[in-house]
Chains A and B, each alone.
Chain A
Amino acid sequence: MNGTARAEVRMLPDGRRLHLQDGPIDLVVEATGTPAAVVGAYRAAAARFRFVLDELCAELAELRAPAGSKPRRFRGAAARRMEAAVAPHAGDAFITPMAAVAGAVADDILAAMRHAAADGLTRISVNNGGDIALWLAPGEATTVGLVSRPDRPALFARARLAAEDGIGGIATSGAPGRSFSLGVADAVTILASCAAEADAAATVVANAVDLPGDARVERRPARSLQPDSDLGDRLVTRGVAPLDAGSVALALDRGLAAARPLIARGAIAAAALHLQGVTRVASRDRRLMALEAPQTGIILREPLDA
């Protein structure tokens, strides 16, 4: 099978964003800047994209194996980003490079775009199903709304990012999502210097938001659900019954205890943890992440004209 033929590359109907889809990878790419720079960046994104999935799949078996203290050598650029992102966590807990796959692909495409059109762009975002690689030209700033569940668009926090903050990645992990979580969080969103690092840290922190042994949490061995899951027979969360306030606070505290050392050693910039309506934030700088006051968050409210 030839990746060039399989991948779908198209402009979205708004004429601004590029949609790239191949197998499970679904990217929405947006660049702003001079028209020539944007076109050049999109061409580069599409050209790079056609090879990403095939490259990953060529090393898939090894990427599904746990990372150790000594980083392995991978051939693919995205695979190398995955390994680099999870290696710092390998000493603390079980983790495989797959924890960073979505962020690493986003980073990879963003890097290709920057390489092709270094000048003339003001902003790039590559959104891989909620894990976002972001680049801002000097002097640029942006605001990102954090949503706890994609099917219920309600903001729970807001990140205000300027170029000098050095935030290159935003990633979210949680029990309800497409990939498995060992914890009970509805959403853990991480700001980091690249999307792969944010993705890996979101996985680690979301796993830590947990209530081990609690009967209100339904867990199943990962392989009973997905036979080729990198998580093997580890128990993954399938459902969480309504929890009392004490249990919510306890689980969130455990998550924060995992997030704070990551902030302290500079691995991530901020973390927002969300569980059953309660949000806790840890950040190297208060300004980065603001909790959304109830009732004020409005997202996607404009009439969408079909």
Chain B
Amino acid sequence: MSHGQLESEADDKVRCDACPVTCYIRPGMAGACDRYANRDGKLVRVDPHVLLERTVERGGAVVPFSRNAAEWSGAVLPEDSVFVTAIGAGTTYPDYKPAPFIVSSEVAGVDMVTVVTEGIFSYCGVKVKVDTDRFLGPEQATVRAEGEAVGHVTTGEYGSQMLSLGGVHHLTGGSKKEGRVTCEALLQLSNSRPVELTVDGGVTIVMEAGASPIIDGVREERMRVGCGSATIGMFAKQWLGHVDEVIVVDDHITGVLSEHQAGKVLDIPPTGVKMKGRRSTPGRYFQVAEPGTGWGGTNVSDPLSILGPFNPKEARPGLTMLMVSTTGEHYGFYRLDEALRPVEAELPESLRLSVERIQENCEPALCTVLFMGGAGGSLRAGVTENPVRLTRSVKDALTRVTCGGAPAYVWPGGGITFMVDVTRLPANSFGYVPTPALVAPIEFTMRLSDYAALGGHMDHVRPLSALTDGDARHMRQIDGNPWPVEPPPQRRKA
């Protein structure tokens, strides 16, 4: 590619001579090709290609397009400190370019190559972990955006509800609107932007990668510290001598101090408390209420509703009881009256501390979004003439897979199905095509010798130093991401 000289005029029009049409372009407008535009009087590529740098300060500036070699040479970085990402590398749907960049560089004395392409993924989706005990909806329930099915509630994980969204069936197997809405929801979530979803038979939730979920209009602040039983175990000693009974309300397991093994060890006497729900083991109760958005992920708003009458043989007037949810968000302190009925009283200071400690031990509740996609035949063919060799090379850990420079986990088994935490990619790394399908960056990095061995397109390998035509955006590598270009281990001897 060769680019022409800029001419700025008094009114900030620029003359582009990337091609002989030499469009005059007004500020904020693009030329006839839609590839070059005038931004504040400077000619820029519309979709800048992202190069990561590990030496430049955070917030590295957009590097404007310029052919002025003298001006540009100052920005050329040592080879081992620049990584060419696939973000903006190019895909012109439906005629995307296979492996538009195959870049060699020398790192720690080893010749490395990175094959860079934007993949078009219709086999893709996101897995969302929502840190909450609140009931979002029944397992297998349909999750909707704009009324269209875009995924479902899947099996819950520790302290979290899990949603599986997207996938080829919602993207291309349903109505056109379903596909479009699914694609839009995946794109927003992958680019760390908020999306509002509804769960059939459940809640309305606003999710955003790296932010706390908003469930039925209420922002979820923190994860539970553990289930009710675990909470009893953690805090039993701190309650000893300050209260006669503690009930930790939880949707999964509600704990009862006096009956729990932890209470037994501390010689806490029985209190005559009677729990609703199904007893699992001593002091541990399942299903004290229905799931919901009240206390501890149950539908409880009055905690006394999960108690039966106290047993007069063990209970006594004046007996004290703390009821608290597994996040410490809800709590109440009670004293039994003459009729052995619990009456709410002010929480004593000593117990306030334990409630605050439960709160303190609850981590911030986040939505975390993993993009998952499968690199198929044509993408792999852009890397090598014999695609299965790329798969094997990835499985053998000779080839590293990154997604916009972020580490990707490659699922074992066939194909190259990978997952990546979307918050570890630069902003707006994902795009879409109207198929509908998502466009995601993917880079394969390996030793040059390994690339040759797997049948790589050696005649397309260009040195990194040749990539200085300037139509790129330099960014600092995201904090915490490993540097993608480090030589992997030597090829195993056969």
Contact = CB atoms under 8 A, between A and B. Distances in A.
Interface residue tally on B, bucketed by range? 35 or more
Contacts of B29: 225-226
Contact of A301 (B17, B18, B172): B172
Given A22-B19, A226-B29, A306 B2 contact: no
A306 B120 contact: yes
B217 interface: no
A164 interface: no
Interface string B1-45: 110100000000100011111111110010111100000000000
A154 B92 CA distance: 19
Contacts of B24: 226-228
Contacts of B34: 24, 178
Given A13-B96, A13-B378, A306-B120, A57 B21 contact: yes
| A interface secondary structure, majority | loop
A95 B375 CA distance: 48
A303 B122 contact: yes
B435 A304 contact: yes
Contacts of A19: 95
A293 interface: no
Given A6-B19, A54-B20, A303-B123, A154 B26 contact: no
A305 B33 contact: no
Contacts of B291: none
Nearest to B373: A306
B447 interface: no
Interface string B426-453: 0000000111010000000000000000
A306 B95 contact: no
Interface string A129-156: 0000000000000000000001111100
A154 B119 contact: no
Contacts of A303: 122-123, 168, 171-172
A154 B121 contact: no
Contact of A227 (B13, B92, B373, B379): B13
A77 interface: no
A17 interface: yes
B27 to A, nearest CB: 11
Nearest to B440: A306
Contacts of B381: 13
A228 B23 contact: yes
Contact of A24 (B1, B4, B19, B377): B19
The listed residue with most B CB atoms (<10 A of its CB), out of A60, A224, A225, A226, is: A226
Contacts, number: 105
A117 B373 CA distance: 42
A147 B433 CA distance: 15
Interface in B174-227: 176, 179-180
A298 B173 CA distance: 11
Interface residues of A, number: 38
Contacts of B437: 304, 306
A19 B96 CA distance: 10
A215 interface: no
B332 interface: no
B374 interface: yes
A154 B95 CA distance: 19
A152 B31 CA distance: 23
B270 interface: no
A306 B122 contact: yes
Contact of A53 (B13, B21, B176): B21
B233 interface: no
Contacts of B95: 12, 17, 19, 28
Contacts of A306: 119-123, 373-376, 378-379, 437
Nearest to A153: B434
A304 B95 CA distance: 12
B98 interface: yes
A305 B434 contact: no
A26 B298 CA distance: 59
Contacts of A60: 21
B21 A305 contact: no
B484 interface: no
A281 B230 CA distance: 71
A300 B122 CA distance: 11
Given A23-B19, A24-B33, A152-B434, A304 B122 contact: yes
Contacts of B378: 13-14, 305-306
A187 B180 CA distance: 21
A227 B19 contact: no
A226 B22 CA distance: 12
A24 B26 CA distance: 17
A118 to B, nearest CB: 27
B382 interface: yes
A151 B434 contact: yes
Interface in A150-195: 150-154, 178
B94 interface: yes
Given A303-B168, A304-B120, 4 more contacts: A1-B20, A24-B33, A305-B123, A306-B437
Q: Which 7 A-B pairs rank lowest in CB-CB distance, beginning with the nearest? A: A23-B19, A305-B376, A57-B20, A227-B24, A24-B33, A306-B119, A24-B32
Interface of A: 1, 3, 5-6, 10, 12-14, 17, 19, 22-24, 26, 28, 53-54, 57, 60, 150-154, 178, 224-228, 298, 300-306
14 contacts: A13-B382, A23-B20, A23-B21, A24-B19, A24-B34, A54-B20, A152-B180, A301-B435, A303-B122, A304-B433, A306-B119, A306-B123, A306-B378, A306-B437
